[in-house]
Amino acid sequence: MPKVLRIINRLNLGGPTYNAAYLTKYLEPEFETLLVAGQKLESEGCSKYILDDLGIRPIIIPEMKREINLFDDYKAYIKIKKLIREFEPDVVHTHASKAGFIGRLAAINSNVPVIVHTFHGHVFHSYFGKLKTSFFKFIERYLASKTTKIITLSEKQEQEICDEHKICSKDKSNIVPLGFDLNRFSENVDDKRISFRQQYNIKDDEMAIGIIGRLVPVKNHTLFIDSLIETKKKTAKKLKSFIIGDGEDKESIINYAKMNGLSVSYQEEKNENAELVFTSWITEIDTALAGLDVIAMTSNNEGTPVSLIEAQAAGKPIVTTNVGGVENIVIPNRSAFVCPPHDANCFSDCLVKLTNPELRQSMGASGKNFGVEKFHFSRLTSDIRQLYYNLLNPVENRFNSAMPNPLSRSKI
């Protein structure tokens, strides 16, 4: 039985944890997988419950953190090398940037036969200055040259990684979209909707708009607030908005909303009639999505936003900025309105359109059918299972005789 050492940045809420968890659980019994994770930030929601529900016990390396720290990073590198020596994996598969750096370096220097890395996003714009970004690109190009296969999550992301930033050639890249257990977004929807709307005092005639994710600069929550202010000017429809998540920018976002005249509710300052509610993290996101009417995303940079996949599975229309792989995971003008980054006027115009309940219903139905079909975890595990066999047995693998390899240019 081939062995896989799977390494993920940290167990914070988001797509990488789901991706790593489902692959760890559902590649059995063909592959034996050991999951390793770094330490999440205190401000981030914890996703360990996802692993607990699947009966997965990861090895946590506290020194592998988001921030660069040469001492901690070296200790994490030594620990991963030790795990490689003891576990003797046939495949080391890393997920996201820090795990990709430390894990691949350890695998390269341990002569692991197959090394795979998944870009769940990238930091090549909207994160750092030009010099620091150039340094990260240099490192990623070196690691990619020693990596057996690079996985991107969408056609757009592959174009950015391969063509725009030239991290690797397309011959080394495979597109494998994320996969999730989306059934919960269709279960007990009416009860969940009532529960959420009662908890947050949402009136029947109010349209509830939500944005889900970390409260960090790259998510550009100021655009969300600017768009809400513009929307108020353009419609008489009653609105109630929600920022679901937490992070380093929380205080500044609250202050920005107050400064621009929005009434705000958050943990330290409750106001059940507020226009904008900060909920912090909500682990039962299916309940929140049932209660909301429209999902927004205002990011400057994304890989494959999980919140938009889940929104479609819940049958909710979307307004989003056109960044990263967004256009590959929604149906523009059918399941989502897609706006240029930083364009509050376009964003607010789209929110005004969605005050029409019939339009919300039709767009939600289109997204639900699309999302469930394209992003179920069974498709993800099938794609990765075949990829591993192809890489471990490049000449004679058990799939090649029966079918061509769709991963060479798989599309959504």
Q: What is the pLDDT of residue 352?
A: 98
Amino acid at site 250: K
Q: What is the pLDDT of residue 43?
A: 61
Question: Among residues 292, 157, 213, which one has the least CA distance to residue 45?
Answer: 213
Q: Is the pLDDT of residue 195 over 80?
A: yes
Residues 60-96 have pLDDT tens digits of: 999 998 788 899 999 999 999 999 999 999 999 999 8
Residues 30-55 have pLDDT tens digits of: 999 999 998 877 666 677 888 888 89
Sole residue written with tokens 């708009």: 209
Percent of the chain clearing pLDDT 90 (strictly above): 69
Domain boundaries along the sequence of the chain: 3-181+376-409, 186-374
Q: What is the pLDDT of residue 50?
A: 84
Q: What is the pLDDT of residue 71?
A: 94
CA 91, 119, 318: angle at the middle one, nearest 5?
135
Q: What is the pLDDT of residue 328?
A: 85
Q: Is the pLDDT of residue 404 over 70?
A: no
Q: What is the pLDDT of residue 127?
A: 54
Number of Cβ atoms within 10 Å of the Cβ of 150: 24
Across the range 144-169, mean pLDDT stands at 91
Q: What is the pLDDT of residue 126?
A: 47
**Predicted confidence band of residue 403 (pLDDT cuts 50, 70, 90):** very low
Q: What is the pLDDT of residue 398?
A: 46
Q: How far is CA 348 from CA 216, 273, 320, 334, in A?
A: 22, 22, 11, 17
Across the range 293-314, mean pLDDT stands at 92
Q: Contact, 304 vs 154, CB < 8 A?
A: yes
Q: What is the pLDDT of residue 155?
A: 86
Please tell me the distance from the alpha carbon of residue 300 to that of residue 340, in angstroms, as a whole number.
Answer: 10
Q: What is the pLDDT of residue 406?
A: 41
Q: Is the pLDDT of residue 412 over 60?
A: no
Q: What is the pLDDT of residue 397?
A: 53
Question: Among residues 308, 309, 310, 329, which one has the least CA distance to residue 319?
Answer: 308
CA atoms within 13 A on the CB side of 231: 29
Q: Contact, 6 vs 36, CB < 8 A?
A: yes
Query: Would you say how long the chain is, in residues?
Result: 412
Across the range 165-190, mean pLDDT stands at 91
Residues 110-149 have pLDDT tens digits of: 999 999 999 886 656 545 677 877 888 899 999 999 999 9
Higher pLDDT, 303 or 352: 352
Query: Is the fold of 3-181+376-409 the same as that of 186-374?
Result: yes
Q: Is the pLDDT of residue 409 over 60?
A: no
Question: Among residues 171, 28, 172, 37, which one has the least CA distance to residue 95?
Answer: 37
Using N-to-C axis directions, what is the helix angle for 306-313 and 357-374, rounded to 10°? 110
* Terminal alpha carbon distance of the chain: 31
Please tell me the distance from the alpha carbon of residue 202 to that of residue 171, in angstroms, as a whole number.
Answer: 51
Per-residue b or e along 151-179, where b marks 16 or more CB atoms closer than 10 Å to that residue's CB: bbbbbbbbbbbbeebebbebeebbbbbbb
What architecture does CATH give domain 3-181+376-409? 3-Layer(aba) Sandwich (3.40)
Q: Is the pLDDT of residue 400 over 80?
A: no
Residues 205-245 have pLDDT tens digits of: 999 999 999 999 999 999 999 999 999 999 999 999 999 99
Q: What is 186-374's CATH number, 2.30.22.10, 3.40.50.2000, 3.20.20.70, 1.10.3720.10? A: 3.40.50.2000
Task: Please tell me the pTM assigned to this model.
Answer: 0.71
Higher pLDDT, 29 or 304: 29
Q: Contact, 271 vs 265, CB < 8 A?
A: yes
Please state, rounded to an integer, the average pLDDT across all residues of the chain.
Answer: 89
Alpha carbon dihedral 37, 40, 46, 47, in 10-degree steps, equals -30
Residues 378-391 have pLDDT tens digits of: 889 999 999 999 99
| DSSP state letter for 397 | -
Across the range 143-159, mean pLDDT stands at 91
If you write DSSP's letter for every residue of 307-368 in order, what string do you get? Answer: HHHHHHHTT--EEEE--TTHHHHS-BTTTEEEE-TT-HHHHHHHHHHTTSHHHHHHHHHHHH
For the sheet with 173-175, list strands across it.
59-60, 32-38, 3-10, 91-95, 114-118, 149-152, 173-175
| DSSP state letter for 1 | -
